[in-house]
């Protein structure tokens, strides 16, 4: 069934009425404010590094497995499709998707766990907070400011990727309740308030749900390619059972590679169509007249139906033991965590081994500042550079295979 796109929605974010950038700049003569954000992210150093950062499999395990970069590109394509169908600003949806993983350290969530442990006495490590830190401080390309000086709307989308961070009274929500807001988010928001209590724009919500869709689809694909599970094991999962029957009826003798691709593409299509239909129901019920009314709603306006949310949960529950916690993955990621921990410990003991530009302005007596600076340096590493640096310092590195 063809899904016609909405005309530009009244609740779409308008780049001409953006809340602006932290540092004032003249507008571009050829690009909207949100298109400019996309371009700045694409040309950033952090974005290029995603090509050699782990998604599930370390980069050298195979050329066909997803990296953080290919994952990001798939999320971006889905986010634009959703935004187009809902009458939203496609460039803002793209910016939210392009930037959402810039703060991931080497070795994916294993690297994040290791850095979180290393920084346990200094507030911990959070990749969403690191993303904000990258685009507001660590990227040093422009003559007039640090960071990329993105619009308020793009920044809020990156920070509130999973929804509000605090309640109206300023108390941290969900995963931040125990330890409080990450330092990078709290410090930045004091000088440039990102309304951490509200939902982000509908465009940013497209980016967030696109992340879920991409994860489900490409992790199934990569898991099959790595032979972590058999294709028949998917046939009993909600939604996938229907897809299996449909493929069997239309293509009864399909070869395995094409069969897997048919499953993935039909899964993505079903999920996108569900989000569009469910989001339109939310929009009809809410009748938002502006982007701010979307932000102030009691829940997200872009999301899965109850049935699709159940199917999404079933897929993730399947992948957790079969892929993410598979013995082979756990062994490799355990070794990767140790690489990160040893690098951190070495730089703490010998900060002079950091590159000279990372030592600029570092107070030797400021243990917190030193630890955070070291974590920033390690978080920017690719898998490959972390392994090379570990070998340089310690003489050897686990193969991570």
Q: What is the mean pLDDT of residues 147-173?
A: 96
Beta bridge partners of 67: 54
Rounded to 5°, angle at Cα 247 from 244 and 253: 110
Assign 1 a pLDDT band (cuts: 50, 70, 90).
Answer: very low
Angle, nearest 10°, between helix axes 90-99 and 202-225?
50
Closest CA to 95 of 7, 156, 51, 137: 156
Q: How far is CA 199 from the centre of its chain?
A: 17
pLDDT attached to residue 370 = 95
Q: What's the CA gap between 157 and 164, in Å, rounded?
A: 10
Residue 82 has pLDDT above 60, yes or no: yes
Sign of the Cα torsion 108, 112, 115, 117 reads negative
Tell me the CB-side half-sphere exposure of residue 377, using CA atoms within 13 A: 23
Phi, psi angles (nearest 5°) of residue 296: -90, 5
Task: Average the pLDDT over each of 118-127, 238-247, 326-335 and give the range with the smallest value.
Answer: 326-335
In terms of pTM, does the model score above 0.75?
yes
Q: What is the mean pLDDT of residues 189-213?
A: 97
Residue 54 has pLDDT above 90, yes or no: no
Q: Where do the H-state alpha helices sit in 31-107? A: 33-42, 45-49, 68-85, 90-99
What tens digit of pLDDT does each residue of 341-383 get? 999 999 999 999 999 999 998 888 899 999 999 999 999 999 9
Q: For the domain 30-401, what is the CATH code?
A: 1.10.3210.10
The count of residues in the chain is 401
What are the extents of the domains in the chain? 30-401
pLDDT attached to residue 6 = 57
Q: DSSP character for 27?
A: P
Three-state DSSP state, 54? strand
Angle, nearest 10°, between helix axes 152-159 and 90-99?
50
Q: Where do the H-state alpha helices sit in 122-182? A: 127-133, 152-159
Residue 223 has pLDDT above 60, yes or no: yes
Most confident range, picked from 76-90, 168-182, 217-231: 76-90
What tens digit of pLDDT does each residue of 90-149 get? 999 999 999 999 999 999 899 999 999 999 999 999 999 999 999 999 999 999 999 999
Residues 6+ apart with CB under 8 A from 19: 151, 152, 153
Helical (H) or strand (E) element with 270: helix 256-286
What DSSP line would sit under 181-231, residue for residue?
S-HHHHHHHHHS---TTS---HHHHHHHHHHHHHHHHHHHHHHHHTTSS-G
Average pLDDT, the chain: 94
Phi, psi angles (nearest 5°) of residue 319: -70, -30
Task: Average the pLDDT over each of 280-289, 304-313, 355-364 and give the range with the smallest value.
Answer: 355-364
């Amino acid at each position: 069934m063809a899904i016609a796109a909405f005309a530009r929605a009244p609740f779409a974010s308008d780049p001409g009425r953006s809340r602006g950038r932290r540092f004032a700049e003249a507008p571009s003569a050829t690009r909207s404010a949100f298109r400019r954000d996309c371009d700045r992210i694409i040309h950033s150093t952090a974005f290029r590094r995603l090509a050699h950062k782990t998604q599930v499999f370390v980069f050298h395990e195979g050329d066909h497995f997803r990296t953080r970069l290919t994952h990001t590109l798939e999320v971006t394509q889905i986010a634009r499709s959703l935004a187009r169908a809902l009458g939203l600003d496609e460039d803002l949806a793209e910016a939210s998707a392009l930037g959402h993983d810039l703060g991931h350290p080497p070795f994916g969530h294993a690297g994040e766990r290791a850095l979180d442990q290393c920084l346990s006495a200094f507030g911990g490590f959070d990749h969403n907070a690191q993303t904000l830190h990258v685009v507001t401080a660590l990227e040093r390309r422009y003559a007039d400011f640090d960071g990329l000086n993105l619009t308020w709307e793009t920044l809020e989308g990156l920070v509130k990727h999973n929804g509000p961070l605090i309640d109206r009274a300023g108390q941290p929500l969900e995963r931040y309740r125990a330890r409080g807001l990450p330092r990078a988010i709290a410090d930045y928001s004091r000088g440039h308030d990102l309304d951490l209590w509200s939902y982000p724009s509908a465009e940013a919500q497209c980016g967030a749900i696109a992340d879920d869709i991409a994860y489900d689809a490409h992790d199934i694909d990569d898991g099959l390619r790595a032979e972590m599970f058999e294709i028949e094991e998917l046939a009993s999962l909600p939604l996938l059972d229907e897809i299996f029957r449909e493929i069997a009826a239309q293509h009864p003798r399909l070869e395995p590679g094409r069969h897997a691709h048919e499953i993935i593409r039909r899964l993505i299509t079903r999920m996108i169509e569900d989000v569009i239909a469910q989001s339109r129901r939310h929009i009809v019920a809410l009748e938002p007249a502006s982007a701010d009314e979307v932000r102030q709603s009691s829940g997200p306006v872009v999301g899965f139906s109850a049935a699709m949310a159940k199917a999404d949960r079933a897929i993730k529950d399947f992948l957790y033991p079969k892929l993410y916690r598979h013995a082979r993955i756990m062994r490799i990621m355990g070794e990767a965590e140790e690489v990160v921990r040893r690098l951190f410990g070495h730089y703490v003991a010998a900060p002079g081994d950091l590159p000279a530009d990372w030592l600029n302005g570092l107070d030797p007596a400021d243990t917190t500042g030193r630890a955070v600076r070291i974590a920033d340096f390690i978080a920017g590493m690719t898998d490959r550079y972390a392994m090379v640096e570990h070998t340089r310092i310690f003489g050897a590195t686990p193969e991570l295979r």
